[in-house]
Amino acid sequence: MDDLEVRRRLPGNLPQLFADGGDDTVERTLSVPLPEGDVVWPDPGYPQRQLLMRPAFWVSDEPVHGELWARLRAEHPRSGLWPLLLDETDQPWASGQVAPEPVPEIGNYVPHAFMYEVWADWAEQAADADHDDLAPFGRHCPGPAPSGTPLDDPDAMADRYARVLGARGPSLGLAAVDRGADALAAVGWQGALNHNEWTAPLAAVVRGWEDRFGARVVGLGFNTLELSVSAPPLTTRHAVHVAAEHWAFCPDILFQGPGTLAGYAEEIRGKTWWSFWWD
């Protein structure tokens, strides 16, 4: 093994993030220099959903810029580490107030089933309402929207959005996952806890958006999620259908926003990033 290969292997304690503990037979490399940082273990006094025998993620000590995110994103196929721009570092990131969930459980959830379940629960609770806010669908869940038409390469779009978010001075996070959507469960993010008890179903929905809309997970906050989108809905009809998915995923963006699917659809039509927040 030559000196160059040694230098390229995952530095420091990053191998601890992987379930195999950084097995030497698995070749993972990282050629991008990292800022100072450390791995974060879930706080043992915080309610956990699984007993994690390894750190949940790595986080930088200081803010970073979007260019670094883009370089690390390009290294993901070799490093196995998905970069995240983390807002509100002290809570929950640095304090370890996270509740990681097993990434394999994401595959147990079907996005359209989650959407139908949310819709049915709402229809039952709002049985006497006129349902104008969810027009034209009302009580009848439309199911997932068709795929969008790509405007650009998904990774290139993600890199551009990372530069925008990087201007806010976020910290850098690294999660040991095969795809960005899985980071939601792996790092123990609970931003949508008031909407859904588990994060894995939401990660399954984001997986679907990765496939149909070229979405990429770029940033996470205490109760926020930032996605780049390379194939957004371009017509009003398509945007309304996508808006229905967004509502099931994050009701606050509608009920504490424009108030109707039609109003929200105009906000996301042709937009190459989706921002979600939960109360």
HEC string of the chain? CCHHHHHHECCCCHHHHCCCCCCCCCCCECCCCCCCEEEECCCCCCCCCCCCCCCCEEEECCCCCHHHHHHHHHHHHHHCEEEEEECCHHHHHHCCCCCCCCHHHHHHCCHHHHHHHHHHHHHHHCCCCCCHHHCCCCCCCCCCCCCCCCCCCHHHHHHHHHHHHHCCCCEEEEEECCCHHHHHHHCCCCCCCCCCCCCHHHHHHHHHHHHHHCEEEEEECCCEEEEEECCCCCCHHHHHHHHHHHHHHCCHHHHCCCCCHHHHHHHHCCCCEEEEECC
Assess whether pLDDT exceeds 50 at residue 74.
Answer: yes
Kindly state the average pLDDT of the residues 222-227. Answer: 95
Lowest mean pLDDT among 29-33, 113-117, 195-199: 195-199
One domain, residues 74 and 193: yes
Total number of domains constituting the chain: 2
pLDDT (tens digit, 9 = 90+) per residue, 147-190?
Answer: 999 999 999 999 999 999 999 999 999 999 999 999 999 999 99
One domain, residues 132 and 217: no
The domain boundary, picked from 210, 226, 242, lies at 226
Is the per-residue pLDDT at 99 higher than 50?
Answer: yes
Q: Can you give the pLDDT at residue 130?
A: 61
Residue 1's pLDDT band (boundaries 50, 70, 90)?
very low
Q: Are residues 117 and 90 in the same domain?
A: no
pLDDT tens, position by position, 8-17: 789 999 999 9
Q: Whole-prediction pTM value?
A: 0.93
Mean residue pLDDT across the chain: 90
Give yes or no: residues 259 and 270 share one domain: yes
